[in-house]
Structure 1
Amino acid sequence: MKTLNIKKMIAAALLIALSFIGANLKIMGTIAFDSMPGFLGALLLGPVWGALIGAAGHFLTALFAGFVLTLPVHLEIMGIMAGATAAFGAIYRRLAGKRKGLSGGAALTAAFAAVLINGPAGIAVLSVQLLPVLGKAGLLTLTGVLSAAAALNIAAALLLYHLLLGKLDIAGIDHE
């Protein structure tokens, strides 16, 4: 049985704490800079950790906003965020391979997939619950805002990842 790496757990906890800060940097409603630590966690710690951090980040944002879309809808959004951050990390790792440094092609492909999952695919999943409340125009607007916010969160995560590469000395964290 694989043991949990304490350093990874501490790094994940710090990234969740960073999500707490990002949850207060709102773009619109429950759309905020809470997912950047999840995307960064997916790069540094792996897709599973990134998914946990991304889901926790959305939960904190929804909590601060008062679960405006109801708890069940926000739980679905947590799942979507977990999927987006995990896919981002998995695709990046698969395409970047053992390459040292930031891989531009892998980053763009992973970012594109994550934006699609977080934006259009996420709205498609939530459309049954949100269509009666927001209407078609509201869903289309929300899709654009979500996609742009995801792209900004990912860009910030990639920038931090690039700045941290080579400077991290956290034994047991596979960030290459």
Structure 2
Amino acid sequence: MKTKEIVLTSLFIALSFIGANIKVMGSIAFDSMPGFLGALLLGPAYGAFIGMMGHLLTALLSGFPLSFPVHIVIMIDMAATMAIFSLVYRKVAEGEEFSLKAITLAGVLGVIMNGPVSLLMLTPLLLPVIGIAGMIAYLPVLSGIATLNIVLACLVYKLLPNRIKKVRKKI
């Protein structure tokens, strides 16, 4: 691991803390935008770590609503979401600095992973507590905030100078 990657990862985790304070509902917040950006710039492993830590910070600041085990599952889902988002982007972009096709496909998969897939993973833990109506109520909020986090990350990535995006190629 190089110093530049450690510094950028730390910066993105700090930005996740700021986003964790911008809550929409319970522990649903703007903590994942830096994870998506980190996944684009640094790759799947770094993005996964940033996404996981971002949700941990949100859960800590929210007091672990719905229980600690629920948030462990969400952290795992966030790590998987960031890794898949990064891998799909890199595969479809094929070395381009910015690919709209790759961003769109990776973004759609990111929303699906962060919304419906997350809820499916949480069904055994949440269904007995909040019921089917509660689960359904979470879906548009999770998917909408995931969409906003991804769009913001992609906009920032698009606006970054190419010399910063070149970090992605070296890792």
Q: Same fold (TM over 0.5)?
A: yes
Q: TM-score, normalised by structure 1?
A: 0.93
1:55 maps to 2:56: no
1:80 is matched with: 77
The secondary structure found in structure 1 opposite 2:142 is: helix
1:127 is matched with: 123
Which of structure 1's runs of 4+ aligned residues deviate more than 6 A? none
Asked if the contact 2:38/2:50 (under 8 Å) is kept, the reply is: yes
Structure 1: stretches of 5+ with no match in the other structure = none
Q: Distance in 1 between matches of 2:165 and 2:57?
A: 29
1:114 is matched with: 110
Structure with greater helix share of residues: 2
Asked if the contact 1:43/1:175 (under 8 Å) is kept, the reply is: no
For 1:81, the aligned partner's letter is M
1:137 maps to 2:136: no
CA RMSD in angstroms comes to 1.4
The secondary structure found in structure 1 opposite 2:24 is: strand
Between the aligned residues of both structures, percent identity stands at 49
Q: Distance in 2 between matches of 1:168 and 1:161?
A: 9
Deviations 1:5-43 (A, max 9, x none): 110011000000000000000111100000000000000
Q: Distance in 2 between matches of 1:28 and 1:111?
A: 22
The change in CA–CA distance for 1:156 and 1:169 in structure 2 (over 3 A counts) is closer
Asked if the contact 1:22/1:34 (under 8 Å) is kept, the reply is: yes
Of 26, 29, 32 in structure 2, the residue corresponding to residue 29 of structure 1 is 26
Q: Distance in 2 between matches of 1:114 and 1:46?
A: 15
For 2:168, the aligned partner's letter is D
Q: TM-score, normalised by structure 2?
A: 0.95
Structure 2: stretches of 5+ with no match in the other structure = none
For 1:174, the aligned partner's letter is R
Q: CA deviation at 1:168?
A: 2.1
Q: Distance in 2 between matches of 1:169 and 1:94?
A: 16
